[in-house]
Structure 1
Amino acid sequence: MDFNSLQYFVLVAKYENMSRAAEVLHITQPALSKSISLLEENLGVTLFDRNGRSIKLNRYGRFFLERAESMLKDYEMAREDLLNLVSPGQGVVSIGFMHTLGLEVIPQLMAAVQKDYPQLKVQLTQSNSSTILHKLEVGELDLCLISSLDTHKDLIWVKLWEEELFLIVPENHNLALKEQVNLKDFAKEPFISIKKGNTLRKSVDDLYKQEGYLLNVAFEGEEVHTIAGLVESGLGVSLIPYIKGLEQYKIRLLKVNAANCKREIGLAYISNHFKSAATKLLEEYIYEYFRK
C-alpha cells in the first residue's frame, strides 16, 4: 500500500464515480481502477459494491475511509512539522474570529504576523460565535478569537483583553446628553440585539439578568454596524463595544454604571486536537502580541 493509493481511495469514496475521480486526479480511469483493485487486494476485502459501471462504498469501505482520512491527515501534519523544523515560521494555520474584530484587530494582527513571519500562511474565517465554535470543535479551525464562554473539558479559552460595552442611543434620545447611565434607565426600552448564538448576546443577556431585567428585543441583527443603523433610525437602544466606523451614525455612546458591562476576548482551542508547529508558533505570537 502506498500513499497515492490512499489519496485515490478517499477521492473515489467521495464521488463514488470512477470517471469523475480520475478526472480530478488527472489520471486515466483504467489506472485508477487498477490502483483501487490493488488496494482491495492488499487489504483482503472489497471496499466498493460494483454494479456494472456504478460503484458504491460498502460498510468495509466506510470503515476504512475513516482510517484512511486519519492517516492522510497525520501525514500532512507530520510533513508540515518537518517543514517547520527545517524552516521555522512556515506552514498553514486556520483561525476564526468574530465579526467585530474584523475592522481593526484582525487586520493589525495579521500585518504584524506577516511582517515577522512572511512564510506563515494564515487562513481566516469570520462569522458569529456559535459558527466559529462549531468549526473549532470539528477541526476546521486551529484557533479562534472569541468572547468568554462556558467551556467544556476539551475547550481551552485564554483571556487576552476586555472591552467595555456602551449604551448607544439616537442623538435625539432623552438620555443622549447624559455622560453616564444606570441600566434601570433604559432596561425596559425596545432593544436592538445581536442574534442568539453570538457571545455578545450572551454577555448582554447575563448583564440584564444580574440586574433583574429581561431584554425587550425589538429587532435582531447579524453585526454591530447593522445594530448602529437600527438605533440611529430610532427603533431602540443597544449595548455594543466601540468599533471603528461608529462615528458615521447619528448616535451617542454612553457609559453604563454596571461592573459587568463589558465582554472579555480570548484565544480558544481544543486541547485534544493536534497542534502543528505553525499553530503553536502563532498561538504564542498572539499571546505576546496582546501582552504588549
Structure 2
Amino acid sequence: MDLQVLRFFREVADGATVTDTAARAHLTQPALSRALRRIEHEAGAELFRRSGRVLRLTPAGHAFKMHVDDVLDHYDQGLRAVEEIVAPETGLVQLAFLRTFGTWLVPAVISSFLELWPRARFELRQHGEALLVDELVDGTSDLVITSRDPGNPQLVWERVLVEPLRLAVPPNHRLAHRKKAKLAEVADESFITLRQGYALRETTELLCAEAGFAPHICYEADEVATLRGLVTARLGVSLLPLPQTATFPPSPTGHPALHLGVTDVRAERDIGMAWAAGRTLPPLSETFRRHVLATAPLTLPGDYAG
C-alpha cells in the first residue's frame, strides 16, 4: 500500500466521488476502485458502503481513517521539515486568523514579509475564535491571529496591538452629527452584536456593563460586516472596529453607518498571535511570528488617531 493510494482513500472518505477523485488523479474509475479494494483486502474489513453516487465509511472505515490521517499528516510534516532545512526561505507558513482581519491586518503583514522573503508560501484559513484554537491544538496551523487570549494552557498568546472600537450608529441617528459620544447615551437602544462565543460579543457586554447598563440585543450575526449592514439599515447600534478595506460595499441608500469615538469607557479589543506551547515552530514560521510582532503595530491607519 503506497501513500498515494492512502490519499485517494482519504479523499473518498471525506466525501468525494470515485469518479471525481479518479479524474483529479488522472486514473480510470475502475483503476481507483481496484486500489480501494486492495486497501480493504489489506485491512481485512469492508471500509466503504455505497450510498447513491458516493461511498460512505463503515465503522471499520472510520477507525481506519483516523490512523490514515495521522500517517499522512506526519509524512507531510516530515517533508515540510526537510524542505525547511534544505531551503528555509521557500518554506510554507500555515496561518489561521479571525475573519475580520482578512481585509487589512493579514494582507499587510504578509505583504511586508514577502518583501523580505519573496519565496515564502502561505496556507491561509479563516475562522471564528473557537475553531482557531482547534487549528493550533490539532497542528493544522502553525500560528493564529485572533482578538484575545484564548486562555488555553496548550497555547502561548502574545498581544500584537490594540484596536479601537467605535459606536456604530445609523445615518439618521440622533447622535449622527457628533464625532464622539458616551456609550451610556445609547443604553436604552437596541444593540446588534455577534453571537455568543465571539470575543467581540463578550467585549461589548463588558463595556456596556462598565458604562452602567446591560445591552438590549435585538439582532445577532456571525460576521462584523453583517453587523455593520444591519446598523446601516437602521435596525440598531453596535460596537465595531472601523471598516478596514477600500472595497467595503456602500450602503444601498448611499449613507453608511457612522462610527463615533467612545468617551466614557475604554472601547478597544486586543489583537494577538498564538501558537502551540512546547511545539517548535518551523524556521520560516518562527521568522514570520517575529515579523508580525515587530511590524503589526504599524498597520493601524491614521484615522484611528484621536
- Normalised by the size of structure 1, how large is the TM-score? 0.77
Asked whether the equivalents of residues 166 and 259 of structure 2 are also in contact (C-alpha less than 8 Å), the reply is no
Deviation of the 1:36 alpha carbon? 6.2
2: CA distance, partners of 1:208 / 1:4? 55
Unaligned 5+ residue runs, structure 1? none
Deviation of the 1:185 alpha carbon? 1.9
Asked whether the equivalents of residues 81 and 277 of structure 1 are also in contact (C-alpha less than 8 Å), the reply is no
2: CA distance, partners of 1:112 / 1:277? 18
**1:265 and 2:271 matched:** yes
Return the letter of the residue paired with 1:80: R
- Residues 105-144 of structure 1: pairs in structure 2 closer than 5 A: 105-144=105-144
C-alpha distance 87-211 of structure 1, shift in aligned 2 (>3 A): same
- Residues 166-205 of structure 1: pairs in structure 2 closer than 5 A: 166-178=166-178, 180-205=180-205
Asked whether the equivalents of residues 47 and 61 of structure 2 are also in contact (C-alpha less than 8 Å), the reply is no
C-alpha distance 87-181 of structure 1, shift in aligned 2 (>3 A): same
**1:279 and 2:277 matched:** no
2: CA distance, partners of 1:229 / 1:190? 15
Return the letter of the residue paired with 2:46: F
Return the letter of the residue paired with 2:292: I
Unaligned 5+ residue runs, structure 2? 50-54, 299-306
Asked whether the equivalents of residues 166 and 256 of structure 1 are also in contact (C-alpha less than 8 Å), the reply is no
2: CA distance, partners of 1:8 / 1:222? 34
Larger of the two Rg values belongs to structure: 1
Q: For residues 61-97 of structure 1, what are the alpha-carbon distances to aligned partners after superposition, in whole Å with 9 as ceiling and x for unaligned?
A: 5444323321221111111111111111223333222
Asked whether the equivalents of residues 228 and 251 of structure 1 are also in contact (C-alpha less than 8 Å), the reply is no
- Residues 181-260 of structure 1: pairs in structure 2 closer than 5 A: 181-244=181-244, 249=256, 251-259=258-266
Percent sequence identity over aligned pairs:
25
1: CA distance, partners of 2:61 / 2:131? 31
| Residue equivalent to 1:290 | 296
Asked whether the equivalents of residues 94 and 122 of structure 1 are also in contact (C-alpha less than 8 Å), the reply is yes
For these two proteins, the number of residue pairs brought into alignment is 287
Deviation of the 1:15 alpha carbon? 6.8
Asked whether the equivalents of residues 97 and 146 of structure 1 are also in contact (C-alpha less than 8 Å), the reply is yes
| Residue equivalent to 1:104 | 104
Asked whether the equivalents of residues 16 and 57 of structure 1 are also in contact (C-alpha less than 8 Å), the reply is no
Asked whether the equivalents of residues 168 and 257 of structure 2 are also in contact (C-alpha less than 8 Å), the reply is no
Moved more, 271-280 or 250-259: 271-280
- Normalised by the size of structure 2, how large is the TM-score? 0.74
- Residues 43-122 of structure 1: pairs in structure 2 closer than 5 A: 46-48=44-46, 62-122=62-122
